[in-house]
Each structure stands twice: as C-alpha cells, then as structure tokens.
Amino acid sequence: MSEPVEIVVASHPRLALAAFVAELPRPLGELSSPPELVAGLALDHPAPLARDEATRSAVRELLRYGGYKPTGRGKPASEYLVRAATEGALATINLVVDACNVVSLHSALPISVVDLGRAQAPLSVAVARAVSYIFNASGQEIDVEGLLCLHDADGPCANAVKDSQRTKTNAETRRVLAIVWGVASEPSRSARASAWYRELLERAGAATSDVVVRTAG
C-alpha cells in the first residue's frame, strides 16, 4: 500500500464525512463491474441502506450552510441518481463509479470519487470561495461558491454535486479517494455507506485503507 492520505477538514456543524482509499489490482479500464454490482443500480434492489426523505433534506441543509443553493441543476448528486434510476437511465460506467452510484443511490448520501494520481496534495475540505470548474468532458462548468468542497493544491476538485473533470477516474486509474458527504444528524449512515462501498470494491480485488482526517485549526 502507498503512504496514508491525509485530509484537513474545516469544522462544520452539519457534516459527518467518511473517507477511504482504494488501490485497484489493475488499471480501471481493465476491470469490469460484476453483474451483481450492476443489479444494485435498480431502485428496488435489496440494499443494506434505504434512502428516506429525512436524509435527503439533511443533505440539502448541509449544502445550504455555506450559502450554496442545492436546487435545479445544482442539486445533490444522490438525487440525480434517483431520477436517473427512475427513468431507467442509470447505466454502468466503470467498477469504481458503479459501486459509488449503487451506494449513493440507496443511502441517499452523495459520494465523490477522486483519482489520486491526478490530485495534488495537500487535501482539505472547506466551503469554496468564488470559483468554478469544469465537471465533464464537454467543458461545462459549475460555480462552487459557498459549496462544501474537497480541495487539492490546485483548488476545489470534488463536492456533493459534481466532481471536477480534472481529477475524475479514467482507464488508467489505479488509486482512488472516496468521500461520503454524510450528515451530522445521521453519523452512522455515512460510516455504514463508506463500509459498504469499501466492501464492494474489496470483492472486486481492491485493497482499501483508512484516510487520516484532521480537523483544521
């Protein structure tokens, strides 16, 4: 395993963050999602966690705390997954993202996945200032001002709405950081979601490890 990853997290009254690192046995492009994992992308598939309205509302309040408005195209990624699954449009992408989407869909918690080979230390979590970044291959941008984000040396790179294109996984990815954007009102949910995500990746041959989380200040 590589050196431990450390994240410095700014104090936040509504955040219960969980994170881990996964090292893949081969480049991500050489791995496939097993059928039992893909089956979890269905809304009615049995799961150890169940989404509910209280969690959905708490996630929105988490994002509102810094002044961000989690509505319309800026709503939490976990809500997009429910809509896509309802419409039958939640398709397989790659092993790491599929496992992320399964856990996020059923837990109602947004999850970020960052390619650690493309992110530059130091890593921190804090509310972003006035800045935007590209979030997809088409070059579309999201304004992340007031939104709780993971930052690397080059600025914000992931959050509960849309992760940055510059640190997303690709076919060459070997090591990823997963962040569960959990809520303080349900701290056990973020821990359980993280444990479930780790288990899904370990079943596929990944080695996972804890992240060192320090509180800023």
In a domain, 154, yes or no: yes
Question: Which are the contacts of 53, defined by CB distance < 8 A and separation ≥ 6?
Answer: none
pLDDT along the chain (217 residues), means of 10: 89 97 98 97 97 98 96 94 95 97 98 98 96 96 97 98 98 98 97 98 97 91
- The CATH code of the domain that includes 160 is 3.50.40.10
Split into its structural domains, the chain has a count of 1
pLDDT for 145 equals 96
Q: Name the pairing type of β-strands 155-159 and 175-183.
A: unpaired
Single-letter amino acid code for the residue at 113: V
In a domain, 194, yes or no: yes
In a domain, 24, yes or no: yes
In a domain, 103, yes or no: yes
Establish how many alpha carbons lie within 13 A of residue 161's alpha carbon, considering only the half-sphere containing its beta carbon.
27
pTM value is 0.96
pLDDT for 1 equals 55
In a domain, 1, yes or no: no
pLDDT for 3 equals 82
To 10 degrees, the CA torsion angle through 66, 67, 73, 77? 20
- Residues 75 and 193: their CA atoms lie apart, in Å, by 20
Give the domain extent around 18.
6-215
In a domain, 161, yes or no: yes
